[in-house]
Structure 1
Amino acid sequence: MRVFVAGGAGALGRRLVPQLVARGHEVTATTRSTGKAGELRALGARPVVVDGLDAVAVGRVVAEAQPNAIVHQMTALGGAPDLRHFDRWFTTTNELRTAGTRHLLAAAQASGVEKVVAQSYTGWTNSRTGGPVKTEDDPLDPEPAKAQQESMAAIRFLEKAVVEAPLTGIVLRYGNFYGPGASESMVELVRARKMPIVGTGSGVWSFIHLDDAASATVAAVERGAAGVYNVVDDDPAPVAEWLPHLAEAVGAKPPMRLPVWLARVAAGEVVVRWMAEGRGASNEKAKRELDWRPVWSSWRDGFRHGLTAAVEADR
């Protein structure tokens, strides 16, 4: 199969491209940076340098590649996380989720592409009421924090556009990434004791190792039916459980604890909601319908043995 990976040089794209190549697919992968073209070539892909927000250029490179499937992994996060100004931090990523998605879908339809698989997210987006673990049928949070309203709107746009497109549209809601290229900023915060347990730490998180996210994406490309799938491990857990485990795994001191009122003043509403009110996600649909299983079935082993190459080198 000919597969076009938009955003192939990102943290997930770099794990996805080799898996697609190993499965015998012919991969064209995009990057915005000429300096990363060689890396994509070394991974086995045909590199293309293109701006995902340039509609004409996107249409041209998709037409040239003539793919059977497009995988939308375009994001643009860089620098230190800025949770207090979340939407500002996600500005370009949100443009890629809206305008970038429109451009890819238009190019797909113009070139007769059969399937589009797009990256979404499950975590702070989940409704903060009801049970601790959500399925794909549960609603997204109807009242996101003020600093996340634009990001939520972009996610809603992407999911609706992809699922309703006149092709096989698949949305993969990945959990919180960890693994080489995805964990470094979180590990740095934990080591600096800047990632506290807020209140009782009852917010539930779902994680996914990058390699498992990539294997689920391959499964979606090869045999996925249209729809939305949560791509997470088997072990959603409250912050009070996983954060001390992560600190121990990277040789850090135990995380500090902050009362909700102080965390709201010090870090903002986004942090409070995520750490104290978050909901996890179920992967049962992905396992059942994509015939997929995560190798790292729990963050418990993943944090100790599959976190980042940098952590292993430091210990």
Structure 2
Amino acid sequence: MKIFVAGATGAVGRPLVSALIAAGHSVTGLTHTATKAEFIKRMGADPVIADGLDAAAIRAKLALIRPDAVVHEMTDLSGATDLRHFDRVFASSNELRTKGTDILLTAAREAGVKRLVAQSYCGWPYARVGGAVKTEVDALDPDPPAKQRLTLRAIQYLERTVTGSVQPEGIVLRYGSFYGPGTGLLDSSMLEQVRNRRTPVIGNGAGWWSFVHVDDAAAATVKAIERGKPGSIYNITDDDPAQVRDWLPTLAKIIGAKEPHGLPAWIARVVAGKHLVSMMTQVRAGSNAKAKKELGWQPAHPSWRSGFSEAVPQSMAQMPAA
């Protein structure tokens, strides 16, 4: 198939381009800079330079390429470390989830694209009630913390718009929290915070998180393109959901740091915000059972425990000396 990957140089985009080429697909990767276009070319894909929010440019590119499938991996997470101002940090990504999704869908429809697969998120958007591990049919949070409301609204818009599309067929992938060498939770800035004990365990640390290695996220995306059911949502996570009080001290130990400080929830509400207290104490993880069954996908990194241990050495090599 001819696959158009929007966001081809992002955390999932990079391994996805490689995985698609390895699976025998012809890949065109979208980026908005010439420097990243050269990187796409070195990976073996055809680069296209355009702004994902430029409707005319995207329509022209898809009309020329006429791919069989489009993958929406567009985000803007550069410098997204100060989560105290959550919606502000994710404002650009939210525009890509709303306006960017509309542009891609319209352009794909006009170009006769058969399938569109879009990135969403598995974890804190779920309702903070009931069991610790949620499935795709479970409700999202009806009353999220104030500083996450715009982001959840954008996620809901993307999911509703994509799964409601018939032409092209729409599929949504709710990825767990990303990690990989120098990526996501193992980005050098995150590891620096953990190493310097600036990421405390808030309250009881009972919030449940799901993780996924970026290579596994890419492999699942290939499966979704090839065999996902139209209109479906899939949680793409590993087999080992974990509470903050488990995974954060374990990460600190793996990188050779001291155990994280503890911070009472009432103090954290004042200095960090209710939303960060929620992410540390109340959020829910996601089950990958549906993706395994319907996509025939198995994570090569079934647990973040071994996954962190494998990826951390490469990530640490990118960090400044202590």
Global fold match (TM > 0.5): yes
Change over 3 Å in CA distance of 1:127–1:208 after alignment to 2: same
Aligned runs of 1:1-315 on 2, under 5 Å? Answer: 1-166=1-166, 167-180=168-181, 181-182=183-184, 183-184=186-187, 185-226=189-230, 227-307=232-312, 309-311=314-316
CA contact under 8 A between 2:31 and 2:49: conserved in structure 1? yes
State the distance in 1 between where 2:74 and 2:136 align: 22
What letter corresponds to residue 5 of structure 1 in structure 2?
Answer: V
State the distance in 1 between where 2:247 and 2:91 align: 29
CA contact under 8 A between 1:163 and 1:170: conserved in structure 2? yes
State the distance in 2 between where 1:217 and 1:308 align: 26
Change over 3 Å in CA distance of 1:80–1:70 after alignment to 2: closer
State the distance in 2 between where 1:307 and 1:217 align: 24
**Which range moves more in the overlay, 174-183 or 135-144?**
174-183
Displacement of 1:309:
2.1
Unaligned segments of structure 2, at least 5 residues: none
State the distance in 2 between where 1:148 and 1:124 align: 9
What letter corresponds to residue 297 of structure 1 in structure 2?
Answer: P
State the distance in 2 between where 1:175 and 1:310 align: 19
CA contact under 8 A between 1:123 and 1:206: conserved in structure 2? yes
Displacement of 1:295:
0.6
Deviations 1:170-207 (A, max 9, x none): 10000000003322132122112111111111000000
Q: Percent identity?
A: 52
Displacement of 1:80:
4.6
Displacement of 1:213:
0.4
Displacement of 1:310:
2.5
CA RMSD of aligned residues (A): 1.3
Displacement of 1:306:
2.4
TM-score of the pair, normalised by structure 2: 0.95
Displacement of 1:312:
5.2
CA contact under 8 A between 1:127 and 1:141: conserved in structure 2? yes
State the distance in 2 between where 1:140 and 1:92 align: 22
Moved over 4 A (4+): 312-315
Number of equivalent positions: 315
Displacement of 1:49:
0.7
CA contact under 8 A between 2:80 and 2:89: conserved in structure 1? no
State the distance in 2 between where 1:76 and 1:200 align: 31
What letter corresponds to residue 197 of structure 1 in structure 2?
Answer: V
Displacement of 1:140:
0.4
CA contact under 8 A between 1:174 and 1:231: conserved in structure 2? yes
State the distance in 1 between where 2:148 and 2:293 align: 32
Displacement of 1:11:
1.5
**Which range moves more in the overlay, 73-82 or 245-254?**
73-82
Displacement of 1:101:
0.2
State the distance in 2 between where 1:83 and 1:144 align: 15
State the distance in 1 between where 2:80 and 2:26 align: 35
CA contact under 8 A between 2:80 and 2:90: conserved in structure 1? no
State the distance in 2 between where 1:161 and 1:80 align: 25
Change over 3 Å in CA distance of 1:80–1:138 after alignment to 2: closer
SS at match of 1:294: coil
